[in-house]
A and B are shown apart, each in its own frame.
Chain A
């Protein structure tokens, strides 16, 4: 019975260690460290290419402070429809032709930018 009494404590220590390991393995939020994002003043610029179902750079979260703008240049190898949730912006993509979306952050939240055919998530814009 004595061993059992120590069990809960051992469990808690293990779980705490596990939680620590998990959170240190996860990427830091707020870093906005999406690759390929270039900042100039209050404007951020990101070029995304789509080839089939592969999105380059890999979908990531891009931080956008309220009031600043993300210039998103999307080039796809097929005709498609581009949609930025929450910003109410839609655009037609022509195969091979770069299309620019200007997304200005107004309300806090996380918003997906996606294509419809096939349905792909390109990135998430975290407005804060």
Chain B
């Protein structure tokens, strides 16, 4: 959370708490209630849940015709793309010509709107980045200008989600570990590098690159599975449970590392704010950036290893060969997405509410000339939604609901892919891992 610490610019008045406000530790009562709720949910689930697969992709409440037509309309998409493109150009202008100080809007746009805002928008509306991703449309536009097929590709793409997982991991490192990550020089390098890699990837592998390898599309798509808004296989819009979205995701290459990065990165963010840890890092003889990088990687590794170990125990309990664990882990990985979503809400709710509004004050003056182009220079972020009791409630509830959905999704998947007799036993190891993630997540929020 110390991410948006104002740059040291002595000539400047200190910025008004740019990203400098953290959440109070979760109250002990909230911790206990949430932990007990998570345990009771797991306990009840194993004994009483359904025994036959029951989530069908034809489920869901059909949206009324006019609403579905609006969602499908070309105009809605064009307006969204134009707004996204305008914001991108605005931000790039500030990136190239704006001041290298805490008054530059780029860090807020990248770390608050793009990263956290996209997560919240996707959990609410679905995989929105796919619709508005400016690089996707730049690539399509360039191909159209060159009068070649939009499917032009030099090589077949075959790495699944792996490039996205690496991209997400790198971005998480940039956000949480890299020093000077709000300085303009760093951001220029980062953004130019990302645009270059994306366009190169799309040039070689075609637009499939954006479907699979783009980290922000992966982030938006995985979290977008939790959206109540979905499309049935017949193309009609429905309201449905987050479980239906998650259940629709089948194992694919690179899914486990992607989920590990999503969950591990958020957990590390909370963990690194711990004061005992901060004291250890700053007094250690090992360079702190090295220590932080190693710890972040360890968090990724911990998630990937624990879920894989759980699947090894599961397939052994089910009497299946060890080698089956590699496909089983991929089968059950989607059920960690609700837990990752819960972590994201718990950790970033107040950052999103507060800094998300604050960004308008900076965007109105992209060049640092004192201009007020959007009329938002004096906007005072509304703090109604970040009152301490409300924040603690949102944190505890989102972690517990994430856990509940994770357990249900894992159960459905276990009875689908394992035979009936082994399914009940087979999901126990995964549930143990989920309890570990949930209690870990709560402890991270609780410890000052």
Task: Find chain B residues with CB under 8 A from A15 CB.
Answer: 39, 432, 435-436, 439
Q: A110, B23: Cβ atoms under 8 Å?
A: yes
Q: A118-B282, A121-B275 are in contact. Are A85 and B43 (CB under 8 A)?
A: no
Interface pair A23/B317, CB less than 8 Å apart: no
A residues 87-118 touching B (CB-CB < 8 Å): 88-90, 107-112, 114, 116, 118
Cβ-defined contact, B282 with A12, below 8 A: no
* Per-position 1/0 for A24-68, Cβ under 8 A of B: 001111100000000000000000000001110011110000000
B73 interface residue per 8 A CB criterion: no
Q: Please name all residues of chain B whose beta carbon is closer than 8 Å to the beta carbon of A30 when the two chains form the complex.
A: 27-28
What residues on B are CB-neighbors of A23 within 8 Å? 28, 31-32, 35, 443, 446
Chain A residue nearest to B15 in the complex (CB): A88
CB distance from A6 to the nearest CB of B (A): 11
Residues in B neighbouring A90, C-beta threshold 8 A:
14
Q: A74: CB under 8 A from chain B?
A: no
Q: Closest residue to A52 on the B side, CB-wise?
A: B283
B447 adjacent to A26 (CB under 8 Å)? yes
* A8 and B428 form a contact (CB under 8 A): yes
Complex contact A86–B8 (CB within 8 A): no
Q: Mark B249-276, 1 if CB is under 8 A from A, else 0.
A: 0000000000000000000000000010
Size range of the interface on B? 35 or more
Whether B248 sits at the interface, judged by CB under 8 Å, is no
- Quote the shortest CB–CB distance from A32 to chain B (angstroms): 10
Q: Mark B14-36, 1 if CB is under 8 A from A, else 0.
A: 11110011111101100110011
Pick the contact of A12: B42, B443, B448 (CB < 8 A).
Answer: B42
Contact of B428 among A7, A118, A120, A123 (CB under 8 A): A7
How many A residues are at the interface, by size bracket? 35 or more
Q: Mark contacts of B412-448 with chain A using CB atoms, 8 A cut-off: 1 yes-contact digit, 0 otherwise.
A: 0000000000001100100110011001000100111
| Structural contact, B21 and A8, CB atoms closer than 8 A | no
Q: Measured between alpha carbons, how far is A12 from B46 in the docked complex, in Å?
A: 11
Question: In whole angstroms, how far apart are the Cα atoms of A16 and B40 in the complex?
Answer: 10
Within 8 Å of chain A (Cβ to Cβ): is B387? yes
Q: Are A111 and B275 in contact (CB under 8 A)?
A: no
B108 to chain A, nearest CB (A): 16
**Chain A residues within 8 Å of B25, by CB:** 29, 61, 110, 126
**Inter-chain contact A126/B20, CB cutoff 8 Å:** no
Take A8-B47, A9-B43, A23-B446 as given contacts and tell me if A86 and B21 are in contact as well, using a CB distance cutoff of 8 Å.
Answer: yes
Q: Is the CB of B282 within 8 A of A22?
A: no
Partner of A83, one of B14, B35, B447: B14
Question: Is the C-beta of B279 less than 8 angstroms from some C-beta in chain A?
Answer: yes
Residues of A near B448 (CB, < 8 A) are: 27, 29, 60-61, 110, 124, 126
Please state if A88 and B432 are interface contacts (CB–CB under 8 Å). no
Q: How far is the CA of A81 from the CA of B14 in the complex (A)?
A: 12
- For residue B123, give the distance in angstroms from its CB to the closest CB of chain A: 24
User: Is A108's CB under 8 angstroms from B278's CB?
Assistant: no
- Which A residues lie within 8 Å of B42 (CB)? 8, 12
Partner of B27, one of A12, A18, A29, A109: A29
- Give B216-248 as 1s and 0s: 1 = Cβ < 8 Å from A's Cβ atoms: 000000000000000000000000000000000
Determine the distance from Cα of A83 to Cα of B8 in the docked complex, in whole angstroms: 10
Task: Decide: A110 near B446, CB < 8 A? Known: A4-B425, A12-B39, A88-B16.
Answer: no
* CA–CA, A108 and B383, complex, Å: 10
Nearest CB in chain B to that of A117: its residue: B8
Chain B residues closer than 8 Å to A9, beta-carbon distance:
43
**Do residues A11 and B431 form an inter-chain contact, with CB atoms below 8 A?**
yes
Chain B residue contacts of A128, Cβ below 8 A: 24, 388
Q: How far is the CB of B389 from chain A (nearest CB, A)?
A: 9
Residues B283 and A85 in contact, CB atoms below 8 Å apart: no
Distance to closest chain A CB from B443 (angstroms): 6
Let me know if B275 and A108 touch, CB within 8 A: no
Using an 8 Å CB-CB cutoff, how does the interface string of B28-60 with A read, 1 for contact, 0 for none? Answer: 100110011001001100110000000000000
Q: Which residues of A contact B21 (CB under 8 A)?
A: 85-86, 107, 109-111
Q: List 18 A-B contacts (CB under 8 A).
A: A4-B424, A7-B425, A15-B435, A19-B35, A22-B443, A23-B32, A26-B446, A53-B282, A53-B283, A86-B21, A88-B13, A90-B14, A112-B20, A116-B8, A119-B288, A121-B279, A126-B25, A126-B448
- Sorted nearest first, the 10 A-B pairs with minimum C-beta distance are A85-B20, A110-B22, A8-B46, A61-B448, A109-B21, A12-B43, A121-B278, A86-B17, A4-B425, A29-B25
Residues of A within 8 A of B (CB): 1, 4, 7-9, 11-12, 15-16, 18-19, 22-23, 26-30, 53-55, 58-61, 81, 83, 85-86, 88-90, 107-112, 114, 116, 118-121, 123-124, 126, 128
Chain B interfacial positions (CB closer than 8 Å to A): 2, 5-6, 8, 10, 13-17, 20-25, 27-28, 31-32, 35-36, 39, 42-43, 46-47, 275, 278-279, 282-283, 288, 317, 383, 387-388, 424-425, 428, 431-432, 435-436, 439, 443, 446-448
Further contacts, 11 of them, CB under 8 A, given A109-B388, A126-B25: A8-B42, A12-B43, A23-B31, A26-B446, A29-B446, A60-B448, A83-B5, A85-B21, A86-B17, A109-B22, A109-B23
